[in-house]
């Protein structure tokens, strides 16, 4: 349902992402792995047209949405759960969640907040607390719940396990599995190979802005390719 082809993104003379192609399908998790600076975040932001694109197309459900603005992409069904979560720590949990339904009328926002609380009962109980008071894992859950407030069909996640304890990582993994089972397509940027093995059917390895490997996780993530991706020796 998502097909990205020929995506090249440059910041001035620096080409951060070069000729990247990938797909994501409903009810599956597609992984993007790679070392620091490989171009993972830039790829996600390129899909959302938030970085300078030189070439490439983004097609969602057969519709070319290349270069559409953020509002149009959200309406088309794409949401981002950004790197480092980007919650507003001094704002309440409820207000952070409501930002995910920005642009909708009051009634819709309330209804979606109520639905979020059905899934995450503890967020209702702590709705008025500042988000910054939560643990890392809870903040990540709020960041994911905020992204779900736009009711996406495609959810882009940028290193959701980063900085979390092993127990919190397992909880986030469980949540992502649930969201996938609901039929949402997930595009998951991760450096946690265990999480990729657990969740992803297929994955792409990015190195120096290029896809250097792609395919079923079981075939792709042999020990050599993983260490190469992290040592950055793939070119
Ligand atoms: N706004 C920007 N201006 C200039 N260069 C940028 C910008 N954003 C990213 N880059 C460069 O593009 C390259 C890819 O960065 P990107 O953030 O996509 O990497 P990443 O794979 O997400 O890394 P990490 O794992 O550290 O998050 C890096 O060399 C980075 O310095
Ligand atoms: Mg990144």
Alpha-carbon gap, residue 80 to 197, rounded angstroms: 22
Predicted TM-score of the model (pTM): 0.95
> Could you tell me if 228 and 114 lie in one domain?
no
Res. 175 pLDDT band, cuts 50 70 90: very high
Give the residue whose CA is nearest to atom 27 of ligand 1: 36
CA 50 to chain centre: 14
> Could you tell me if 56 and 90 lie in one domain?
no
Q: Mind listing the pLDDT tens digit for each residue in 176-186?
A: 999 999 999 99
Q: Which residues pair with 1 in a beta bridge?
A: none
Both tokens of 36, joined, read: 């620091």
Asked whether the beta carbons of 48 and 156 are under 8 A apart, the reply is yes
Choosing from 15, 17, 39, 206 the residue with most ligand 1 atoms within 8 A of its CB, the one to mutate for a pocket test is 39
Q: Mind listing the pLDDT tens digit for each residue in 182-228?
A: 999 999 999 999 999 999 999 999 999 999 999 999 898 887 777 66
> Could you tell me if 176 and 186 lie in one domain?
yes
Alpha-carbon gap, residue 175 to 177, rounded angstroms: 5
Q: Mind listing the pLDDT tens digit for each residue in 47-102?
A: 999 999 999 999 999 999 999 998 899 999 999 999 999 999 999 999 999 999 98
**DSSP code of 215?**
E
> Could you tell me if 105 and 66 lie in one domain?
no
Res. 230 pLDDT band, cuts 50 70 90: low
Q: Which of 131, 151, 171 is the last residue of a domain?
A: 151
Q: In this structure, what CATH number is given to the domain that contains residue 17?
A: 3.40.50.300
State the average pLDDT for the chain: 94
> Could you tell me if 146 and 160 lie in one domain?
no
Choosing from 8, 31, 40, 157 the residue with most ligand 1 atoms within 8 A of its CB, the one to mutate for a pocket test is 40
> Could you tell me if 109 and 136 lie in one domain?
yes
> Could you tell me if 197 and 221 lie in one domain?
yes
> How many structural domains compose the chain?
2
Q: Give the pLDDT of residue 174.
A: 97
- Rounded distance from Cα 174 to ligand 2 centre (Å): 22
Give the residue whose CA is nearest to atom 14 of ligand 1: 39
> Could you tell me if 228 and 200 lie in one domain?
yes
Q: Which of 133, 151, 169 is the last residue of a domain?
A: 151
- Residue 234 to residues 75, 155, 212: CA-CA distances in angstroms? 37, 28, 7
Alpha-carbon gap, residue 5 to 21, rounded angstroms: 4
> Could you tell me if 17 and 92 lie in one domain?
no
Q: Which of 98, 117, 151 is the last residue of a domain?
A: 151
> Could you tell me if 3 and 72 lie in one domain?
yes
> Could you tell me if 157 and 72 lie in one domain?
yes
> Could you tell me if 182 and 217 lie in one domain?
yes
Full domain range(s) for residue 128: 86-151
**Number of neighbours of residue 60 by Cβ within 10 angstroms:** 22
CA 112 to chain centre: 20
192 lines ligand 1 (CB under 6 A): no
Both tokens of 76, joined, read: 């088309």
- For residues 209-229, one letter each, b for 16 or more C-beta atoms within 10 angstroms of the residue's C-beta and e for the rest, the string is bbbbbbeebeebbeeebbebb
**Helix (H/G/I), strand (E/B), else coil: 182:** coil
102 lines ligand 1 (CB under 6 A): no
**Helix (H/G/I), strand (E/B), else coil: 200:** coil
């Amino acid at each position: 349902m998502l097909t990205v082809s020929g995506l090249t993104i440059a910041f001035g003379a620096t080409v951060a992402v070069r000729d990247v192609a990938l797909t994501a399908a409903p009810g599956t998790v597609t992984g993007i792995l790679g070392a620091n600076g490989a171009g993972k975040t830039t790829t996600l932001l390129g899909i959302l047209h938030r970085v300078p694109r030189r070439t490439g197309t983004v097609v969602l459900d057969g519709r070319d949405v290349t270069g559409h603005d953020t509002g149009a992409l959200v309406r088309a069904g794409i949401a981002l759960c950004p790197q480092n979560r980007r919650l507003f720590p001094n704002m309440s949990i409820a207000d952070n969640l409501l930002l995910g339904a920005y642009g909708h009328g009051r009634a819709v926002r309330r209804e979606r907040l109520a639905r979020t609380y059905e899934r995450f009962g503890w967020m209702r109980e702590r709705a008025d607390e500042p988000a910054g008071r939560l643990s890392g894992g809870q903040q990540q859950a709020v960041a994911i719940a905020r992204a779900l407030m736009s009711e996406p069909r495609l959810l882009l996640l940028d290193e959701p396990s980063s900085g979390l304890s092993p127990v919190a990582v397992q909880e986030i993994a469980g949540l992502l599995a649930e969201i996938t089972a609901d039929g949402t397509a997930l595009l998951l940027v991760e450096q946690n190979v265990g999480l990729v093995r657990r969740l992803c059917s297929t994955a792409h390895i990015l190195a120096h802005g290029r896809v250097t490997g792609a395919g079923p996780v079981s075939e792709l993530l042999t020990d050599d390719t993983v260490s190469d991706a992290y040592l950055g020796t793939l070119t």
